[in-house]
């Protein structure tokens, strides 16, 4: 049996509408987005400070020095004094290489964290720009508007610095 009803209601949502996304509450969602951006910026700045700190630079220099010492020891063990305490020198060189690898791995993790946080922040900036490009400023809080002005100023300053670096006299 085949039944047809003419009074049925079919509704599949609005075309292009994302499931679970509510529209129209710009002030609340914009404030939430700004909080997320601030959090991502803080994480990125913290990781960058860790990567560029004096201690991090010294540890990278220490890893390079350990590698040089290990290379020198292995050269001595193999080429210069092939019979005198060869195994001991090779063990010590392997230990120095392992220490250098441990330090370098830690620095690589810190660098990855820094780059990943910066990438996340940039991606979220782009999402915010896409969502709020057509929102009137009157629908936003004053605090959010001031943060937007601050963000615009930093973009203009970065642009001025880039233009200054392109000039031949710089």
Min mean pLDDT across 83-97, 102-116, 122-136, 156-170 is at 156-170
Scored b (16 or more CB within 10 A) or e, 49-85 reads eebeeeebeebeeebeebbebbeebbebbeeeeeeee
CA dist 147 → 7, 32, 132, 141 (Å): 52, 13, 14, 10
pLDDT band at 76 (very low <50, low <70, confident <90, very high): confident
pLDDT computed for residue 45 by the predictor: 82
Distance (Å, whole) CA 14 – CA 3 = 28
| CB-side neighbour CA atoms (13 Å) of 44 | 14
What average pLDDT score do residues 141-156 get? 76
pLDDT computed for residue 128 by the predictor: 78
The model's pTM is 0.53
pLDDT computed for residue 24 by the predictor: 59
pLDDT band at 72 (very low <50, low <70, confident <90, very high): confident
pLDDT tens-digit readout, 79-103? 776 666 778 888 888 888 888 889 8
pLDDT tens-digit readout, 10-69? 666 666 766 666 665 666 777 777 788 888 888 888 888 888 888 888 888 889 899 888
Closest CA to 37 of 113, 115, 128: 128
Tokens, residue 71: 């290379």
Each domain of the chain, given as residue ranges in start order, spans 60-129
Angle between helices 142-166 and 26-52 (to 10 degrees): 40
pLDDT computed for residue 9 by the predictor: 65
Question: Residue 109: which residues within 8 A CB-CB, separation 6 or more?
Answer: none
- Which range among 39-43, 132-136, 154-158 has the greatest average pLDDT? 39-43
What average pLDDT score do residues 153-164 get? 77
């Amino acid at each position: 049996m085949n039944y047809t009803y003419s009074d049925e209601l079919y509704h599949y949502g609005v075309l292009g509408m994302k499931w679970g996304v509510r529209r129209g509450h710009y002030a609340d969602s914009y404030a939430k987005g700004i909080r997320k951006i601030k959090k991502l910026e803080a994480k990125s700045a913290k990781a960058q400070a860790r990567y560029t700190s004096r201690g991090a630079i010294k540890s990278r220099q220490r890893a390079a020095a350990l590698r040089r010492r290990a290379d020198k020891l292995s050269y001595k063990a193999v080429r210069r004094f092939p019979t005198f305490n060869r195994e001991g020198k090779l063990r010590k060189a392997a230990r120095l290489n392992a220490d250098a690898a441990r330090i370098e791995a830690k620095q690589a993790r810190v660098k990855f964290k820094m780059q990943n946080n910066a990438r996340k922040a940039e991606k979220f900036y782009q999402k915010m720009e896409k969502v709020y490009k057509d929102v009137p400023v009157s629908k936003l809080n004053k605090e959010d508007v001031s943060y937007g002005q601050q963000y615009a100023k930093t973009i203009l300053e970065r642009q001025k610095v880039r233009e200054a670096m392109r000039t031949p006299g710089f």
